[in-house]
Amino acid sequence: MRTVSWDDRRGELLLIDQRLLPSEFRIARIRTYRETADAIRTMVVRGAPAIGAAAAFGLALAGFQSKADTLPALLRDLQEAADVLARSRPTAVNLTWALQRMLRVAAGYVGTPDKLRQLLLAEAQRIADEDVAINKRMAEHGAALIDDGDTVIHHCNTGALATVDWGTALGVIRMAHEQGKRIHVLVDETRPRLQGARLTAWELSQYGIPYDIISDNAAGYFLRSGQVQKVFVGADRVARNGDVANKIGTYMLALAAYDNGVPFYPVVPTSTVDLSLQHGARIPIEERDPEEVLALQLRGRPVAPEGASARNPAFDVTPARLVTAIVTEKGIVYPPFDLHLPQVIHHP
């Protein structure tokens, strides 16, 4: 099933609860826009494209929740809900992109409130369906970069769980595998929430793709010893100049890849590119609860001493100079990114 889907019969948003994988597969039923915001904030749903689709359905839920019987009143309720949803994860640009797209539908509408509610739901479904099609186009472009016999390092989770379905960087790997290429994946654990060890490894198992889990700080060893041919990652936001914000640890991985001459490829839908930001220093970096770091245990015992403090940035920014190329649904974009990214974004 899809990571993000809509139950027509009950009028509810359905999300795979990613906090429980791989030990338990459970569907979270979301009934309000505030529950949607909470699901995004607590990472029931995660991954920039999946967050965007979930937020779109969350705004549709807000329309159905609203008691407004006039169009201006409904628009006010929708704007209030959009503000709440927008604050749930500040780094992922797909969140604001999806909300703005939904609000444009509302702003341009003339008619009854009930009809607008249905139009918003249809637009959210369209965003979800488009995401699947976009991912498959990205996968086809990116798979051309993978050769038979390659070993690839992958950071975080960018598969079907991070999108509505199929995936971005992991979708590229999956496509190459389905084309018959023999691939081996080294899966960064991706601390502190371990999305690689928990989610990417689980997905690769479903697809039958060979993999090994490695600690994040082992990546440099494998790159320097010549055991890796490519690095593929996702992104939560890409600035105009090609700076890439992605899960914490991506920058260190990119540095090691660059130093050893290994190509480094972010795989991102064009909706993740933020042309309004000239460079990555302007990308807001979410800092999450220190307990995500401090609560780690080894053999049932806390790793950190009692009373310890921690810092927990969720993302870092990889400078464009370390990026070999960016894979999008419109093709592979090479440097200089500040010239080529706008051309790709504006091309029909």
- The residues annotated as belonging to the active site are 236
Closest to 100 (Cα-Cα) out of 70, 73, 123, 119 = 123
3-class secondary structure, 141: helix
CA 222 – CA 51 distance, rounded (Å):
32
How would you classify the pairing of strands 237-239 and 244-247?
Answer: antiparallel
Instruction: Give the three-class secondary structure for 230.
Output: strand
Structure tokens that stand for 284 in this block: 């807001």
Amino acid sitting at position 75: L
Alpha-carbon gap, residue 5 to 124, rounded angstroms: 10
Q: How many distinct helices (H) and strands (E) make up the chain?
A: 12, 16
Helices (H), the chain: 33-41, 48-65, 71-86, 93-107, 113-143, 169-178, 195, 201-207, 219-224, 250-259, 291-294, 337-346
Q: Is 202 exposed, middle or buried (0-12, 13-18, 19+ CB in 10 A)?
A: middle
Letter string b/e over residues 37-52, b meaning 16 or more CB atoms within 10 A of that residue's CB: bebbeebbbbbbbbbb
> The tokens 């993000």 sit on which residue?
4
Other Cβ atoms less than 10 A from the Cβ of 100: the count is: 12
| Structural contact between residues 229 and 308, judged by C-beta atoms closer than 8 angstroms | no
